[in-house]
Structure 1
Amino acid sequence: MEDVWIMDSGCSRHMTGHRKSFSSLNPVSTKEYITFGDNGQGKVLGVGSVSLSAKLSLREVAFVWNLGFNLVSVSQLLDEGFEVRFKKGACCVLDAEETFVCSLLPFGQGRPHIRFGPVRRLVASPSLIFGSGIGGLVT
């Protein structure tokens, strides 16, 4: 799951447990922990940048010890100047100039996926499921 990124509307910040995902990473100087939905915690070892595509680079991504998922925070995307538009059955991410970045669409019975170049994929979390299908992001 190293190349799968989950778009999570309930996540407070972008985070991953995969060191190799970072284009830059700085260690944190204080003890910081992330609390998950199940009340478990993960220690933040660093903060840095992850490039998912030419159109989407994530800043201030937490490197969290033993985190098994890569999470994209909808609220952090908004804070970073992206626009996230939700419509019936779809979601679209735009940059500050309202240029298309990616979209979330119902994906039916199969596994959700995204094409962000040859390496990265971004999928929807259960918080972004539409109907009985799982949403997948496309560029």
Structure 2
Amino acid sequence: MEDVWIMDSGCSRHMTGHRKWFSSLNLVSTKEYITFGDNGQGKVMGVGSVSLSAKLSLREVAFVRNLGFNLVSVLQLLDEGFEVFRVDLTSVSGPARRLVASPSPIYGSGIGDLVT
């Protein structure tokens, strides 16, 4: 699952447990923890940027120890001016209303085949 990004409407911020995704990463010394759905916790080790395609870069992505998934926060996308809508699966339009992601099984049920 380390190459799959899943859109999560209950996730407060973008996050991954895989350092390889970051184009920039600032390690943090604060004691911030993320609580998972099963009530387990993972320590936030850093925050940075992840480029999923030429048209879609995620900012303020948390690097979380023990997280086995890559999660795209629907709430964070909305806060950043994106529109997220569902036709058959989820698609994402950027602030300029240009399609930046559409459905594809390659990226799991959601983030989709990123349009370049």
TM over 0.5: yes
Deviating above 2 A after TM superposition, structure 1's stretches of 4 or more consecutive aligned residues are 117-139
Alignment of 1:116-135 (within 5 A): none
**Which one has more relative contact order, counting CA pairs under 8 Å at least 6 apart?**
2
Moved more, 128-137 or 32-41: 128-137
Residue 38 to residue 137, structure 1, CA distance change in 2 (3 Å)? farther
Residue 51 to residue 124, structure 1, CA distance change in 2 (3 Å)? closer
Percent identity, please: 92
Q: Which residue of 2 aligns with 1:87?
A: none
Residues 63-118 of structure 1: CA distance to partner in whole angstroms, max 9, x if unpaired?
A: 0002100000000001111111xxxxxxxxxxxxxxxxxxxxxxxxxxxxxxxx99
- Gapped runs of 5+ residues in structure 1? 85-116
Residue 53 to residue 124, structure 1, CA distance change in 2 (3 Å)? closer
User: In 1, are the aligned partners of 2:103 and 2:109 still within 8 Å (CA)?
Assistant: no
Q: CA RMSD in A?
A: 6.3
Larger-gyration structure (1/2):
1
Q: TM-score, normalised by structure 1?
A: 0.61
Residue 130 to residue 118, structure 1, CA distance change in 2 (3 Å)? closer
User: In 2, are the aligned partners of 1:33 and 1:42 still within 8 Å (CA)?
Assistant: yes
User: In 1, are the aligned partners of 2:55 and 2:115 still within 8 Å (CA)?
Assistant: no
Residues matched between the structures, number: 107
